[in-house]
Amino acid sequence: MQGASIACVELRRPDLRFPLPENFAGRLEKQTVERLDRRGKYLIAHLSSGESLIMHLGMSGRFTIEETGQLRPGVFARAQDCNPKHDHVVFDMEGVRAARITYNDPRRFGFMDIARSEELETCRHFKEMGPEPLGNGFSAAALKAALKGKSAPIKTALLDQRVVAGLGNIYVCEALYRAGISPRRKAASVVAGKRSDRLYGEIIAVLREAIEAGGSSLRDFASVEGGLGYFQHRFDVYDREAENCRRCDKVIMRIVQGGRSTFFCPSCQR
DNA sequence: AGTGTGTCCTGTGTGC
DNA sequence: TGCACACAGGACACAC
């Protein structure tokens, strides 16, 4: 999409998780995508109009690419296992590369929005968002400050995007296991000892390793080229209920916190 | 203000 | 085979 222009936007329904913004297609058509970016779990396309398209995949969203030009025919073939009845937004790109970019999302938990590019940092999606975990804004001190005084369980606190951006259920479970911290422990008590320093390091480590492995393909995640991630083979606890801990051989437990599954080793995590 | 609960939606896997 | 049910990578609205 970078450098290409949006020739046409086809909306196949008036909303995703939320209503699409006013004049959605009109504000995108004829604009050039100057730069693609990411903040937390959001994708951002900076447009020549001075506005930016903000996209979130939710749980099941995906973009597929069909190359319509002759540049690299067949490289970006449409994923076979993608039911076209959930194709909700179609972007026809022209210019440096002609392609059809389709947003498909069975559960429709994803959403899109538009904001002025110079106001991105203060728009509702990013105003309160915490630092990028692999960026300069994240440090052991920053993590401590964000967790300080919180009575919520550390598991719930780490899923809160205001603490640190981009952590989801898998990597929170994995980071807590690596750091030897019980998911039930109050966030404030993690700051009190040296646990938060260890946690800081493990958050970064697990994210780096997962990115290196191409992400985690549970059922349907794939890269935009269609390739699968491999990090799921290296989960220590996530989706391993009743299996044995790799470290102490005791049984991995599943509990529910804030309506989400938490996997942990009650012996290794204190 | 911070925290816990329910909700949005479809597909898949499991047990009966 | 058919059916009911639980659960899924996330964020938000709401009640306290």
Nearest nucleotide by C1' from A217 CA? C9
Q: Is the CB of A258 under 7 A from strand B?
A: yes
User: Over pLDDT 90: what percentage of chain A?
Assistant: 89
Residues 19-58 of A with CB under 7 A from strand B: none
pLDDT reported for residue A74: 39
Tokens, residue A208: 């780096």
Separation CA A105–CA A92 (nearest Å): 18
**Could you tell me which residues are beta bridge partners of residue A67?**
A99
Please state the pTM of the whole predicted model.
0.95
Is A210's pLDDT higher than 60? yes
pLDDT category of residue A142 using cuts at 50, 70 and 90: very high
Q: Compute CA A105 distance to the chain's CA centroid, rounded to the nearest angstrom.
A: 14
Q: How many Å apart are A256 CA and B15 C1'?
A: 22
Spatial neighbors of A144 by CB under 8 A, at least 6 apart, are A191, A196
Residue A225, burial from CB neighbour count under 10 angstroms (0-12, 13-18, 19+): exposed
Residue A70, pLDDT score = 44
CATH class name, domain A140-264: mainly alpha
Angstrom distance, A29 CA to C9 C1': 31
CB count within 10 Å of CB A156 equals 19
CA A152 to C1' C16, in angstroms, rounded, equals 15
Chain C bases under 7 Å from protein CB?
A: 7-12
CATH 1.10.8.50 residue ranges for chain A: 140-264
In angstroms, the CA of A256 and the C1' of B6 are apart by 14
CA of A109 to C1' of C4 (A): 24
Instruction: Give the residue-averaged pLDDT of A193-214.
Output: 96
Look at residue A69 in the predicted model and tell me its pLDDT: 58
Burial class of residue A242, CB neighbours in 10 A (0-12, 13-18, 19+): exposed
Residue whose Cα is closest to the C1' of B10:
A107
% of chain A residues with pLDDT over 70: 95
| Local confidence band at A47 (pLDDT 50, 70, 90 cut-offs) | very high
- Strand bridging mode A42-47 / A4-11: unpaired
Query: What does the DSSP 8-state code read for residue A194?
Result: S
Output the CA–CA distances (angstroms, integers) from residue A191 to A134, A149, A184, A200, in the order listed: 20, 9, 14, 11
Closest nucleotide to A188, Cα to C1': B2
pLDDT at position A236 over 70: yes
* Rounded CA–C1' distance between A62 and C11, in angstroms: 17
In the DSSP assignment, the letter for residue A117 is: G
Ranges in chain A annotated CATH 3.20.190.10: 4-122
- Please report the pLDDT score of residue A81 as a whole number: 67
Q: Which two tokens stand for residue A16?
A: 């995703």
Tens digit of each residue's pLDDT (9 = 90 or more) over A57-101: 999 999 999 987 543 433 344 455 689 999 999 999 999 989 999
Hunting for tokens 């940092």 — which residue is that? A121
CB of residue A245 closer than 7 A to nucleic acid strand B? no
CATH number of A4-122: 3.20.190.10
Computed over every residue of chain A, the mean pLDDT equals 94
User: What does the pLDDT look like over A20-39, one tens digit per residue?
Assistant: 999 999 999 999 999 999 99
The nucleotide lying nearest A60 (C-alpha to C1') is C9
